[in-house]
Structure 1
Amino acid sequence: MQPITKTLMIFLLVFTSSAFSSETSTTSPYVVLQNIGNKLFTRIAANQQEIEKFPALMQVIVEEELMPSIDYQYASYRILGKNLRNTTPAQREQFVSSMRHYLAKTYATALKQYNNQQVIFESEKPVKNKRIVAIKTQIVDTNKPTIDVVFKMRQNKKTGQWKAYDMVVEGISLLSSKKAELSSRIAKQGVEQVAIELASIGK
């Protein structure tokens, strides 16, 4: 499995469900994170035979059940970094859309590797007035080393909803890795060209 796909698979072990509901607006990010998992995998299990016949169905399920839980716009802006100030609103919208489709495609591919791993969550802590919270978890797999994972959750100021925008696996940030991969390409090729490439992968 490619490193990026393996990392996203670990992400999906924990952060996989529709957290896009009114109850998440005032819920602790710890509670949000611990409550997710059931809906997506229940739907996948119920449609397993259909997915085997029509693999594209997996991406439909990911689009409907998972993507509302991901703060892909904030993540996209973080990936753009200093390039953000040189983009137009239309370019930003194009890049965010392309990144969303790219992630959905990658998540759908990664979900095929799921094998009932156990997840241990950090105990809930007060978040006070924090908008960004890092939550520690561990992925436990039989006969394999335990993997330490930190999920970065962000609360939207307008909606109050908590969503995930990054994960750190054994000290390596998925967001930072993607930013390092794309920054030089954006500087050389431009945001629009990179967005087109991401959109192509996401088809």
Structure 2
Amino acid sequence: KLMPRRRLLEQVIGERFDYAEMSKRALAANWTSLTNDQRAEFVELFKAFLSDRYAGKIEGYSGERTEYLSERLEGSYAEVRTRLVSSKTEIPMDYRLMNKAGRWYAYDIIADGVSLVKNYRSQFDKIIHSDSYDELVKRLRNRTVAEEKKETR
């Protein structure tokens, strides 16, 4: 079972991240060929995958601080530049956001210059072109199931 802190983290993050937009951008041109059911399934799988992949890293943070460097606003899009600072290192963390119905949601994170969405777009594209979209879904599902098994041990 998920630890209470992790469950709370997932809830807070889930309220501020637009997983549908992240999914659409990560799949890029492949998104347009999916049915609404396939899109909904992919969004849930990608959300679970990201949660499994990054929640543990976030849980491990303690004592670090975030410095806000700047923000840039262009219509309904914004970029907030920050830096995660610990006693040993500083990591640039930029957030790309979009305004939907008066609320800001993150759709990409750029950690140390690497875009999360672009990184996964490249990986997903390779899998889809060398195998198939169904293979990508299978791999995401298997990774998510493997993480769930680890959590219940």
Tell whether the structures are fold-level matches, with TM greater than 0.5. Answer: yes
What is the total number of aligned residue pairs between the two structures? 145
What residue is the counterpart of 2:83 in the other structure? 138
What residue is the counterpart of 1:151 in the other structure? 95
- Report the Cα offset of residue 136 of structure 1: 1.0
What residue is the counterpart of 2:9 in the other structure? 62
What stretches of structure 1 move > 4 A for 4+ residues in a row? none
Aligned pairs for 1:30-179 (under 5 A) are: 55-123=2-70, 127=73, 130-144=75-89, 146-156=90-100, 159-179=101-121
Q: Distance in 2 between matches of 1:65 and 1:161?
A: 14
Structure 1, unpaired ranges of 5+: 1-53
Letter of the 1:193 counterpart: E
Aligned: 1:184 with 2:87: no
Letter of the 1:100 counterpart: K
Give the CA RMSD over aligned residues.
2.1
Identity %: 21
Could you give the per-residue CA deviations for residues 38-72 of structure 1, whole angstroms, max 9, x where no partner exists? xxxxxxxxxxxxxxxx6544442233222121111
Cα distance, 1:124–1:166 mapped onto 2, change above 3 Å: closer
What TM-score, normalized to structure 2? 0.81
Q: Distance in 2 between matches of 1:186 and 1:62?
A: 31
The one of the two structures with greater contact order (alpha-carbon pairs below 8 A, sep at least 6) is 1
Letter of the 1:188 counterpart: S
- Report the Cα offset of residue 84 of structure 1: 1.4
Higher-strand-fraction structure: 2
Cα distance, 1:113–1:133 mapped onto 2, change above 3 Å: same
Letter of the 1:194 counterpart: L
Structure 2, unpaired ranges of 5+: 149-153
What TM-score, normalized to structure 1? 0.63
Could you give the per-residue CA deviations for residues 174-195 of structure 1, whole angstroms, max 9, x where no partner exists? 1111111111112333333322
Letter of the 2:104 counterpart: W
Q: Tell me, what secondary structure is at the counterpart of 2:55?
A: helix
